[in-house]
Amino acid sequence: MDQQGIAIEIETINVRTNEQAINLRFRGSPTILIDGRDIDPSSVEGFGLACRTYRLEDGRISPLPSEAMIRKALRGA
């Protein structure tokens, strides 16, 4: 966000139960939302407590989104 010149508040939510995950529409950890929208909604179907993976630009699977994915989502917000 610093590199993009964006100054916003970040809220971290600890999702502890499956019921909470469903109510929050939590797609697994880590989930990053910008203005309530998932940065990669196509990566996971359904909601619940789980580990999440992201498909990177080169096709590899990663437990974290790439910087490029986050930058793209920030620009689109």
Query: pLDDT tens across 40-51, in order?
Result: 877 667 899 989
Task: Check pLDDT > 80 for residue 14.
Answer: yes
In contact, 39 and 65? CB cutoff 8 Å: yes
Which residues pair with residue 38 across a beta bridge? 33
Distance CA 15, CA 48 (A): 9
Average pLDDT over residues 64-68: 93
Q: Quick one: how far is CA 16 from the chain centroid? A: 17
Question: Per the structure block, which two tokens stand in for 45?
Answer: 């179907």
Q: In this predicted model, which residue has the larger pLDDT, 19 or 4?
A: 19
pTM attached to this predicted model: 0.77
